């Protein structure tokens, strides 16, 4: 399988590298840098420094991490990075790594700090802290602590138990803080980060979604040439924006394929043909594959197996569509050699593509693809977060109904049925899902929640009373969550009256459902989807 088109070329002169030491927040750091209108990429801590420098970074950020700098096998970094003349900003573990590497002292003195912590700024006019309060709340998560800064470094902040909570060396453009400025709990964290980017590193905040579109259009034209591409269009934000970028690049060389696999929500097929085609004028080929997918999923209950089956069948349907398109084009037609996918950065990370990350679940575009795929992939959104994708969609002029649509998984309702997927169960879940969406929209809550998966516990039944009689029906789970980028999420505190109306309507209007429950689990420990 060929590698995807990068979100920005390696020679971008304004790239900031985020070196990942296994931090849970590495992706968030990269996202915060982009919010400052500066392009960022994550690289593993195992990458040789000369390879990092070959990317010509304007700055380097060292992430946090779970290790002690003194632990056996703890991630390390070649000290040559501090002599390269590139501005460096260390956070938490990265801060301690800098301190030790440059001659400071880090020790286990019992000065552990976790969660919100008061920070005292000792040099208010410093590069990082100028214009911020002398006392501010920050988010700490550390055991070891820096007790002495390296020679030539000014100590710029401390806490009640940590004498060196931040240091700066303007001459060498080296900076560090013990806490996590990237999380919202650090009240002035974004300002500190921007001070490093703009003042410490001298980077101009000029990266925009226009840059993304322009770079991708040029890269895709070079990649595709005169050949043709197909795109799996689901009607969701990701595939729609990916398709719109590729169409802008190669026009009529792109054909979108909508697979009617029977796993869609109510009204989705009509939305794709009406809204997206009307907005873009893209060529659309509809493939009726419901029977094929349901046959392949018959008897399957394991969620990973379901994901892989759905991913496999998608590719096989695309191959069928490819053959039909070539036949239609005749002898003069160019080869359909490329498959466009709306893979996002969180999809890659959760499928084991991030540094130090486990394979949480196979994404249908990543771990769910068969090894013998015949297409070369085009993934213009592979390094973008969802909010960035929405901005790109707005830049391309896509309608609000598509750009602001809540996330919906590529495998569709197939992974929202816990148990075997059947036509009857899909129809039942479709109705329950439609009711939940209708009531959330009516209450004006669409923009306040990230998404609300509606889950059918198909292999579970519970006793109920309906119409003065005993019932033995299925439970439906509501999973409303709030998130910025799906890397982490919390359950949404929906108004009780809205929840009550959804529950009443589902139990009254959907056959074989006699109970509605609310999932109040955050991510982590749970994932947003149940399967």
250: Cβ contacts below 8 Å, ≥ 6 apart: 220, 221, 224, 228, 229
Q: Based on the number of CB atoms within 10 Å of its own CB, is 459 exposed (0-12), middle (13-18) or buried (19 or more)?
A: exposed
Nearest one of 430, 400, 434 to 417, comparing CA atoms: 430
Record the tokens describing residue 401, joined without a space: 């109904």
Per-residue exposure over 478-502, b if at least 16 CB sit within 10 Å of its own CB, e if not:
bbbbebebbbbbebbebeeebbebb
Beta bridge partners of 518: 478
Cα atoms in the 13 Å half-sphere on the side-chain side of 35:
19
Six token digits for residue 395: 């830049």
Residues 507, 50: Cα–Cα separation, whole Å:
62
Q: Under DSSP, is residue 446 helix (H, G, I), strand (E, B) or coil?
A: coil
The phi and psi torsions of 132 (rounded to 5 degrees) equal -110, 160
Which residue's entry shows tokens 């924006």? 241
CB atoms within 10 A of CB 296: 18
- Give helix 237-250 / helix 209-224 axis angle, nearest 10°: 60
Q: Is 343 exposed, middle or buried (0-12, 13-18, 19+ CB in 10 A)?
A: buried
Contact present, 345 and 382 (Cβ < 8 Å): yes
What are the residue numbers of the active site? 92, 180, 182
Q: What is the mean pLDDT of each run of 10 residues along the chain (531 residues)?
A: 40 78 83 92 90 95 84 84 95 90 81 79 93 89 81 92 92 94 87 96 90 89 91 84 93 89 87 77 88 96 93 86 75 74 75 43 46 79 85 88 82 93 96 95 90 92 66 87 79 95 95 93 87 81
Residue 18 tokens, joined: 């985020």
Q: Which helix (H) or strand (E) holds 214?
A: helix 209-224
Euclidean distance between CA atoms 395 and 463, whole angstroms: 51
Work out the widest C-alpha separation in the chain, in whole angstroms. Answer: 81
The whole-model pTM stands at: 0.68
pLDDT of residue 257: 86
- What does the DSSP 8-state code read for residue 458? T
Beta-carbon neighbour count of residue 366 at 10 Å?
22
Sequential DSSP letters for 3-51 = PPPPSS-TT-TT-EEEEESS-TTHHHHHHHHHHTT--EEEEETTS-HHH
Cα dist from 205 to 58, 353, 477, whole Å: 12, 28, 44
With contact defined as beta carbons under 8 Å apart, do 458 and 425 qualify? yes
In this prediction, residue 14 carries a pLDDT of 79
Structure confidence at residue 121 (pLDDT) = 94
Whether the Cβ atoms of residue 61 and residue 225 lie closer than 8 Å to each other:
no
Can you tell me the distance from the alpha carbon of 390 to that of 380, in angstroms, rounded to the nearest whole number?
13
Beta strand extents in 348-460 (DSSP E only)? 376-378, 417-418, 454-457
**Nearest CA among 266, 320, 265 for reference residue 289:** 320
């Amino acid at each position: 399988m060929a590698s995807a088109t990068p979100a920005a070329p390696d020679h971008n002169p304004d790239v900031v590298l985020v070196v990942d030491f296994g931090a849970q927040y590495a992706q968030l750091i990269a996202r915060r840098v982009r919010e400052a209108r500066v392009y960022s990429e994550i690289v593993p801590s195992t990458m040789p420094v000369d390879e990092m420098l070959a990317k010509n970074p304007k700055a380097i950020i060292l992430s946090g991490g779970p290790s002690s700098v003194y632990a056996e096998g703890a991630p390390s970094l070649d000290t040559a990075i501090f002599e390269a003349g590139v501005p460096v900003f260390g956070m938490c573990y990265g801060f301690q790594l800098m301190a030790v590497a440059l001659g400071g002292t880090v020790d286990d003195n019992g000065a552990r700090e976790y969660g919100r912590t008061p920070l005292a700024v000792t040099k208010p006019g410093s590069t990082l802290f100028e214009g911020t309060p002398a006392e501010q709340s920050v988010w700490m998560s550390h055991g070891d602590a820096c007790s002495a800064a390296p020679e030539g470094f000014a100590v710029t902040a401390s806490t009640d138990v940590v004498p060196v909570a931040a240091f700066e060396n303007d001459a060498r453009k080296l900076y560090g803080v013990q806490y996590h400025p990237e999380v919202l709990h650090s009240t002035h964290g974004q300002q500190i980060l921007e001070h490093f980017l703009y003042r410490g590193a001298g980077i101009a905040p000029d990266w925009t979604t226009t840059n993304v579109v322009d770079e991708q259009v040029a890269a895709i034209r070079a990649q595709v040439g005169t050949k043709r591409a197909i795109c799996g269009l689901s009607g969701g934000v990701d595939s729609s924006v990916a398709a719109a970028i590729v169409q802008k690049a190669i026009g009529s060389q792109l054909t979108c394929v909508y697979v009617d696999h029977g796993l869609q929500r109510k009204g989705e097929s009509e939305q794709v043909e009406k809204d997206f085609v009307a907005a873009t004028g893209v060529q659309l080929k509809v493939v009726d594959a419901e029977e094929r997918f349901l046959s392949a999923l018959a008897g399957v209950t394991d969620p990973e197996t379901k994901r892989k089956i759905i991913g496999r069948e998608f590719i096989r349907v695309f191959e069928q569509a490819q053959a039909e398109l070539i036949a239609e084009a005749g002898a003069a037609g160019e080869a359909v050699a490329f498959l466009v996918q709306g893979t996002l950065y969180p999809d890659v990370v959760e499928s084991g593509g991030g540094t130090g990350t486990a394979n949480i679940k196979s994404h249908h575009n990543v771990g769910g693809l068969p090894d013998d795929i015949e297409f070369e992939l085009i993934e213009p959104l592979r390094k973008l977060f969802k909010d960035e994708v929405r901005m790109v969609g707005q830049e391309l002029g896509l309608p609000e109904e598509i750009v602001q649509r809540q996330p919906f998984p590529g495998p569709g309702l197939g992974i929202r049925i816990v148990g075997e997927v059947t036509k009857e169960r899909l129809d039942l879940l479709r109705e329950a899902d439609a009711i939940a969406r209708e009531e959330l929209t009516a209450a004006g809550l669409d923009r306040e929640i990230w998404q609300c998966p509606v889950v059918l516990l198909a292999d579970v039944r519970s006793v109920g009373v309906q119409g003065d009689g005993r019932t033995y029906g299925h439970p439906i789970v509501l999973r409303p969550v709030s998130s910025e980028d799906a890397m982490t999420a919390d359950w949404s505190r929906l108004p009780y009256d809205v929840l009550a109306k959804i529950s009443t309507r589902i139990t009254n209007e959907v056959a074989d459902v006699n109970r509605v429950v609310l999932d109040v689990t955050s991510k982590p420990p749970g994932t947003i989807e149940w399967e």
